[in-house]
Amino acid sequence: MCEFCLEHGEGRKWYLEAKNYGGDLQNDLERKMAFQKFINKSAKSGEEFHRQMEELEKAPGFVRRMSRWKTVRTMKKLHYGQIVPIEDVERIFGFVNSIIRTSCLCRRMLHGEEKRYCYGISLGPDGGKLKEVFAPVGTGFTGGPDPKGNEVLSKEEALANFRELEKEGLCHSVWTFVTPFIGGMCNCDRPDCFAMQMSLTHGTQTFFRAEYVAESKPESCDGCRLCMRVCQFGAISYSAARKKSYIDPRRCYGCGICRSVCKKNAIHLHDRARVPAAANLW
């Protein structure tokens, strides 16, 4: 179990605890303002983000380590995530009361485009209007999503959207808005996501791996390599001699996206805790 499961889930998957989707963030002005301050500070252009990351890479080792430690510590308090497979997405949609599709902040900042890959989710008694989370004190966030165009979706519509995005190779994630309040879900890929770039390219872990690890059964694999094409984490390799694909459990983030393109049903997810090579990797 990741540390959030121990701290916020009493030893169970923390993102499947309904209490973590409650209205605390919407009703606590201090927490709202803390998150607004974080978003205003974080919002930046893609060019500025890459420039800062490049400068950090050139810094002395102790500076890099201290900066990464400080960033991860801050993120875990304010806006941290975890990869989740489609089965757990369906479980989450089973108990939330409101699902709203909205603009993705990362894609706006990186590419200057309005792309609706993010979803606001809530147990709020009034339907959990997303604008109350993203614009809590009456002023919009710099560069943030415009709540006027939010689309209210049914659980069935939202799940169908997630399944279609999965076929495109996007992995699913849940995110806190002042931990442990979970207010959003996203569909991420490496070129379009700040968190994935920070974690995978720049070594600053801004989300946990999933509670699962994928395994490919060699006897079922036909070596088509479709799974390699959709893996965002570089966890899948190919044996030219055996004409089979293999998944490295130490690199696997357990998103399960590789399963969606496997025509032979050769890939399955296992609990991370039961895979010794990956059990303590988050």
Give the model confidence (pLDDT) of 162-197 as tens digits: 999 998 899 999 999 888 889 889 999 988 888 898
On whether both 139 and 54 belong to a single domain, the answer is yes
On whether both 156 and 23 belong to a single domain, the answer is yes
Residue type, 250: R
- Dump pLDDT digits (tens) for 91-110: 999 999 888 888 888 888 77
Task: Please check whether residue 125 lies inside any domain of the structure.
Answer: yes
On whether both 148 and 200 belong to a single domain, the answer is yes
On whether both 69 and 176 belong to a single domain, the answer is yes
On whether both 43 and 156 belong to a single domain, the answer is yes
On whether both 104 and 148 belong to a single domain, the answer is yes
pLDDT value, residue 242: 92
* Residue 141 binned pLDDT confidence (cut-offs 50, 70, 90): very low
Residues of the domain holding 249: 212-274
- Dump pLDDT digits (tens) for 200-216: 988 889 999 999 999 99
In the chain, pLDDT over 70 holds for what percent of residues? 81
Q: Helix/strand/coil (H, E, C) string of the chain?
A: CCHHHHHHCCCCCHHHCHHHHCCHHHHCHHHHHHHHHHHHHHCCCHHHHHHHHHHHHHCCHHHHHHHHHHHHHHHHHHCCEEEECHHHHHHHHHHCCEEEEECCHHHHHHHCCCCCCEEEEECCCCCCCCHHHHCCCCCCCCCCCCHHHCEECCHHHHHHHHHHHHHCCCEEEEEECCCCCEEEEEEECHHHCHHHHHHHHCCCCCEECCCEEEEECCCCCCCCCHHHHHCCCCCEEEECCCCEEEECCCCCCCCCHHHHHCCCCCEEEEEHHHCCCCCCCC
209-245 residues labelled b (16+ CB within 10 A) or e (exposed): bbbbbbbbeeeebeebebbbebbbbebbebeeeeebb
On whether both 122 and 238 belong to a single domain, the answer is no
> What is the distance between the alpha carbons of residues 55 and 98, in angstroms, rounded to a whole number?
41
What is the pTM for the complete model shown?
0.86
First to last CA, the chain: 9
Query: Directed axis angle between helix 46-58 and helix 61-78, to 10°?
Result: 140
Task: Please check whether residue 280 lies inside any domain of the structure.
Answer: no
CA distances from 187 to 33, 196, 258 (A): 26, 11, 15
Nearest to 180 by CA among 1, 2, 5, 52: 5
Task: Please check whether residue 279 lies inside any domain of the structure.
Answer: no
Question: Of 14-28, 54-68, 137-151, 239-253, where does mean pLDDT reach its minimum?
Answer: 137-151
On whether both 9 and 64 belong to a single domain, the answer is yes
On whether both 63 and 201 belong to a single domain, the answer is yes
Question: 261: domain CATH number?
Answer: 3.30.70.20
* Structure-model confidence comparison of residues 66 and 109, the more confident one: 66
Domain count, the chain: 2
Domain stops at, among 193, 208, 223: 208
On whether both 202 and 238 belong to a single domain, the answer is no
Task: Please check whether residue 93 lies inside any domain of the structure.
Answer: yes
Task: Please check whether residue 281 lies inside any domain of the structure.
Answer: no
Average pLDDT of the chain, as a whole number: 84
With beta carbons less than 8 A apart as the criterion, state whether 81 and 61 touch.
no
* Residue 23 binned pLDDT confidence (cut-offs 50, 70, 90): low
pLDDT value, residue 178: 84
On whether both 231 and 218 belong to a single domain, the answer is yes
Task: Please check whether residue 179 lies inside any domain of the structure.
Answer: yes
On whether both 204 and 219 belong to a single domain, the answer is no
Domain stops at, among 208, 223, 255: 208
Indicate if the pLDDT at residue 82 is higher than 80.
yes
> What is the distance between the alpha carbons of residues 34 and 74, in angstroms, rounded to a whole number?
11
pLDDT value, residue 249: 96
> What is the distance between the alpha carbons of residues 89 and 93, in angstroms, rounded to a whole number?
6
Indicate if the pLDDT at residue 78 is higher than 90.
no
Indicate if the pLDDT at residue 53 is higher than 80.
no
Task: Please check whether residue 198 lies inside any domain of the structure.
Answer: yes
* Residue 27 binned pLDDT confidence (cut-offs 50, 70, 90): low
Domain stops at, among 181, 208, 235: 208
Task: Please check whether residue 204 lies inside any domain of the structure.
Answer: yes
pLDDT value, residue 211: 97
